[in-house]
Structure 1
């Protein structure tokens, strides 16, 4: 076969941009698809042509097989690259492409089917001699079966959906008393994410490292591996920072795991790029097959950086019938950080907003679909970009990545960048002493919701320097005959007073600091802040951090009908109310589950803040809610 002339990219965000850039480099015409939410997205702007496929809801656009196929045929594409997520591991989609005369840039449908079902996958690779995690992998287990299996395996256990991946529907259960609620929640999330609520159960390895092997196979029987990636730094069972090679593996273990991965791929007749994931006991070094991702991985750039192999290019070459002729060797070290629209200080709950200012580092690799004006909503996954650094040594790569994140400016959306920098500087991370529970254990020391006093100083000085509005009474600071007066603003419920170069934050002492504007930046002393405004919200950014500072008038008045001690119940994230578990008038106890809110395929249970009576319920199942939107009010019994 000759190389394709035109390829449709059935995805969005940074992976769509990544694939389109590869197509451009190979001289292949690119076709983008987009939902109404993405009409002006970067991948749409970059592609040679773009086709609308439906409204914002993924099930009516990016997950609609007929609409994707129709878009490819109408645009004259010969092949479809699925990226990752959405339809990338969907057997019906791979078969629909073949039936329509389109080449699916991925493995055969039978291989997706075999590895997409975790139960079948474990049985298949076990027959090929690959070690698997102890557990029960029977199809169609009932809730009672899962409880019985958990008691057999012994706690802690890991509930996992048989279909899909990415940590969706996965639950770690420490005791029998938690099990049935976890099963219910895992089934609901798995059903919503993959259309299949089948669960399996595995022993939870208590000192686990997550290490995966990149494989590449052609249609002529050749299968190779390209080394491993260490993916142990995770939150909510989803990766945050990945690196290649692993600081844990010896050359002998690397080769043994690589050959096990090759045999796992051979066992299902694999073709294309794929990843075999292993859980490795950090104490013994024993490794067990977890699953195979039959697609390109989010973290594929670190493998590309240490091998010099363009995996997307080889996906296309293999799909076009070419034979693998690669001689793979590893050079240096690479580390990747995923930038998410989420708030680590609020247990990594998704955020959103409009990108007001953006500066991406230019001396490292950045895979991104960000642009100024982009609206980050709750329709899709919260990952925004990836920053990837390469160095001669692991220490050099870590330093480069940390420095690059410090130069990144992203205002208008709260992200995890400060958390990533703290994680990269953690002593255990620097030493390579990793496991999948590290982030959870150290979370309190890695995040902070506090706004530094220096930021309030900068905000007060910015308010004095920059005219806001046309009314002369709103301009600059206070003034009276013979002297400057103090000008006072309420910023994030903190009083900030400014007089000339003096600033008082709250009840603190005056601080002297000179400030001036330099282009779009505010320079305060020796520190430079990026600045952007969105109505009455001032965004400041420095060293990878960003702060949203809301200005408000002094508010005096009643606390509200519910009373000063009432417990408001608010939505922790923008999303959809899935479940309402209580009604107005119900007596509730602190910690009792009241609502389940879902956003970006993530569920969060909202609980009662105090013991009392639920005096009002302000939402219903299926309703869209905003961040911190009131859901209900709980009044303590004594009131």
Structure 2
């Protein structure tokens, strides 16, 4: 990891409370430790044993697992700061980072809020207000309108005036949550309902704005900083175009080759937007550029906080942006911006299954082995629990090089040697993006990822099957962590087991035969890292997780009798009609029921919506029939749990 430093650091704080969790809390604590500042962590019941809790100088419990009862509880956060003598609160990003309520509560308690003024939060924290404000300051925006206070009919009329396709998005919050693309007027009502529901849940405000959809947009943002002395600077731009569901996946700095006149307009417009609210602290001004007309620049929003992707700016400027936040919050002056040098690329590693539509994955991390030679900002370590209460991002991998092509290659290699066992991840998909010819060429737009979907499920390689079989042969002895913590040790120790055949069941209910074990010397010492990119581990349910070169599979050993039974059942299913149950694709909470008990529905009709890790997913009817609901709003469901039955004459 590259160490970054800002100049003339004089934060003037003895104790800072970090009002966040995961990798951003750990990253802030790292800078506080370097500066000799005492750190205070806060945690929910779900995070009692999280890494950030152990790394801080002091930790305070602030509530139950749901964010609304802990990380979003302003009284609990400020109370923790008071009890521990914290002079300042750093909110990180997400949660309360753009909360006017927290800023006001800090001011009332004599605590420094490490963020902008209440005025800036009020103006820029609401997309509709920000849009109107920057227009008056001469900053260009995408054509659209504020839907607040309008009836459904009035919204429909305004939408027709702007023209379809449209983008519906919450006025409050950010991160792409609640955004809906509307192709035509017939889809508008459902999109408005979904966007309002997500906005109310995530941000406590269901106000919406609608904008013209730019068909091949690039998402470019500018890192700005302001101080109390009136200085506002831009620290270059970041390319955030590679997105899925409006969530950034890979970011880089600088951008992938936008024209220099466009870059100058971006930086100028960003500084202009920040100055319009006398901005103090770290902020990001976000823009859209049409890939086919790169001379056009449109303001979309300003995030009044540090961004997830701030490491790429740090790596090309040499600055520690958290240290710079502390200096500005303490009244210090900003230096002129440094020159941007080299190229940095960041990949977000999520606990999710790309082959299953990027559904979130939960569970215990059996093994986390970060790559060597690059920066890794991780939320987890071996033994960490990934729950459904919070965002599914578990790590960021950042590679740096003198040029973009080399940075992408280094990132791909780093991802190849990143090992996460115990939950599904998107690592293999990130590697595919790094090598995609359009990505390498810099021919980007926010819809690029959608052109790669759906993703085919890949079979485990022979080496993965052999490693899994070796662990299966060891039986209960395979639970000894010393045997499977390093794959090289697994291979050598377990390859001595009797060479009987092993059948393994995939999560798709496919039965695979593992090759016979081979190779390896029992006397060889265990390596520091898994040999040849292979790692294997046994979970509490008896399933074996195995990874190679960024790919991961969960395999369950089965007996010969069970294998035969499954073959017969599969043959029978091929001649039978689809089953009546509609099942949950992931664990989560039921947030909406779209049909009534006893209603007649067609195949594909949305029945309920499930929310997990701040994402909403519909469950649809498996075929035509009559609905019997098995769950209601507020119910917690397990993955593969039946949530409704759709019956026909044949399956009653």
Whether the 8 Å CA contact 1:341–1:382 is kept in 2: the answer is yes
Deviation at 1:262?
0.4
Deviation at 1:495?
4.5
Question: 1:460 is matched with which residue?
Answer: 469
Question: 1:355 is matched with which residue?
Answer: 365
Among 125, 136, 150, which residue is 1:127 paired with? 136
Among 56, 76, 89, which residue is 1:80 paired with? 89
Deviation at 1:606?
0.7
Among 43, 47, 55, which residue is 1:38 paired with? 47
Q: Give me the TM-score of the superposition, normalised by structure 1.
A: 0.91
1:621 equivalent to 2:633? Answer: yes
Give the 3 Å change call, closer, same or farther, for CA 564–488 of structure 1 in structure 2: farther
Question: 1:491 is matched with which residue?
Answer: 505
Question: 2:216 is matched with which residue?
Answer: 207
Whether the 8 Å CA contact 2:11–2:323 is kept in 1: the answer is no
Q: Which SS does the other structure have where 2:239 is aligned?
A: strand
Question: 1:632 is matched with which residue?
Answer: 644
Whether the 8 Å CA contact 2:250–2:345 is kept in 1: the answer is yes
Question: 2:298 is matched with which residue?
Answer: 288
1:372 equivalent to 2:361? Answer: no
Structure 1 residues 407-446: Cα deviation after superposition (integer angstroms, max 9, x where no partner): 11110011111110011110000001000000011223x5
1:21 equivalent to 2:35? Answer: no
Whether the 8 Å CA contact 2:168–2:210 is kept in 1: the answer is yes
Tell me how far apart the structure 2 counterparts of residues 382 and 596 of structure 1 sit (CA, whole Å): 18
Tell me how far apart the structure 2 counterparts of residues 19 and 165 of structure 1 sit (CA, whole Å): 21
Alignment of 1:230-629 (within 5 A): 230-285=239-294, 286-444=296-454, 448-464=457-473, 468=477, 487-492=501-506, 493-496=509-512, 503=516, 514=519, 527-534=532-539, 535-553=541-559, 554-555=561-562, 556=565, 565-582=578-595, 585-614=598-627, 616-629=628-641
Tell me how far apart the structure 1 counterparts of residues 301 and 89 of structure 2 sit (CA, whole Å): 24
Tell me how far apart the structure 1 counterparts of residues 409 and 610 of structure 2 sit (CA, whole Å): 38
1:110 equivalent to 2:116? Answer: no
1:50 equivalent to 2:81? Answer: no
Deviation at 1:121?
0.5
Give the 3 Å change call, closer, same or farther, for CA 454–177 of structure 1 in structure 2: farther
Question: 1:508 is matched with which residue?
Answer: none
Tell me how far apart the structure 1 counterparts of residues 341 and 413 of structure 2 sit (CA, whole Å): 22
Tell me how far apart the structure 1 counterparts of residues 280 and 332 of structure 2 sit (CA, whole Å): 11
Tell me how far apart the structure 2 counterparts of residues 514 and 466 of structure 1 sit (CA, whole Å): 20
Deviation at 1:240?
0.3
Question: More displaced, 140-149 or 238-247?
Answer: 140-149
Structure 1 residues 480-502: Cα deviation after superposition (integer angstroms, max 9, x where no partner): xxxx995443423444557xxx5
Question: 2:7 is matched with which residue?
Answer: none
Deviation at 1:123?
1.1
Whether the 8 Å CA contact 1:84–1:298 is kept in 2: the answer is yes
Structure 1 residues 518-557: Cα deviation after superposition (integer angstroms, max 9, x where no partner): 7778999x95521110132001111111111122344449
Give the 3 Å change call, closer, same or farther, for CA 490–384 of structure 1 in structure 2: closer
Deviation at 1:117?
1.1
Give the 3 Å change call, closer, same or farther, for CA 128–358 of structure 1 in structure 2: same
Question: 1:506 is matched with which residue?
Answer: none
Whether the 8 Å CA contact 1:613–1:637 is kept in 2: the answer is no
1:137 equivalent to 2:146? Answer: yes
Deviation at 1:608?
0.5
Structure 1 residues 151-179: Cα deviation after superposition (integer angstroms, max 9, x where no partner): 11111100011111111111011111111
Tell me how far apart the structure 2 counterparts of residues 398 and 469 of structure 1 sit (CA, whole Å): 37
Whether the 8 Å CA contact 1:279–1:290 is kept in 2: the answer is yes
Q: Which SS does the other structure have where 2:293 is aligned?
A: coil
Give the 3 Å change call, closer, same or farther, for CA 250–256 of structure 1 in structure 2: same
Deviation at 1:356?
0.3
Tell me how far apart the structure 1 counterparts of residues 525 and 389 of structure 2 sit (CA, whole Å): 35
Q: Which SS does the other structure have where 1:550 is aligned?
A: strand
Tell me how far apart the structure 2 counterparts of residues 18 and 127 of structure 1 sit (CA, whole Å): 37
Whether the 8 Å CA contact 2:19–2:41 is kept in 1: the answer is yes
Whether the 8 Å CA contact 2:578–2:622 is kept in 1: the answer is no
Extract unaligned runs of 5+ from structure 1.
Answer: 504-511
Cα RMSD of the aligned pairs, angstroms, is 2.7
Q: Which SS does the other structure have where 1:201 is aligned?
A: strand
Whether the 8 Å CA contact 1:378–1:574 is kept in 2: the answer is yes
Q: Which SS does the other structure have where 2:453 is aligned?
A: helix
Whether the 8 Å CA contact 2:470–2:495 is kept in 1: the answer is no
Deviation at 1:360?
0.6
Tell me how far apart the structure 2 counterparts of residues 347 and 57 of structure 1 sit (CA, whole Å): 25
Question: More displaced, 145-154 or 96-105?
Answer: 145-154
Whether the 8 Å CA contact 1:80–1:102 is kept in 2: the answer is yes
Give the 3 Å change call, closer, same or farther, for CA 494–608 of structure 1 in structure 2: closer
Tell me how far apart the structure 2 counterparts of residues 569 and 520 of structure 1 sit (CA, whole Å): 47
Give the 3 Å change call, closer, same or farther, for CA 222–86 of structure 1 in structure 2: same
Give the 3 Å change call, closer, same or farther, for CA 520–194 of structure 1 in structure 2: farther
Give the 3 Å change call, closer, same or farther, for CA 190–376 of structure 1 in structure 2: same
Whether the 8 Å CA contact 2:464–2:548 is kept in 1: the answer is no
Whether the 8 Å CA contact 1:32–1:50 is kept in 2: the answer is yes
Give the 3 Å change call, closer, same or farther, for CA 79–488 of structure 1 in structure 2: closer
Structure 1 residues 535-593: Cα deviation after superposition (integer angstroms, max 9, x where no partner): 32001111111111122344449979x98632431111111011223455433210111
Give the 3 Å change call, closer, same or farther, for CA 243–476 of structure 1 in structure 2: closer
Give the 3 Å change call, closer, same or farther, for CA 127–609 of structure 1 in structure 2: same
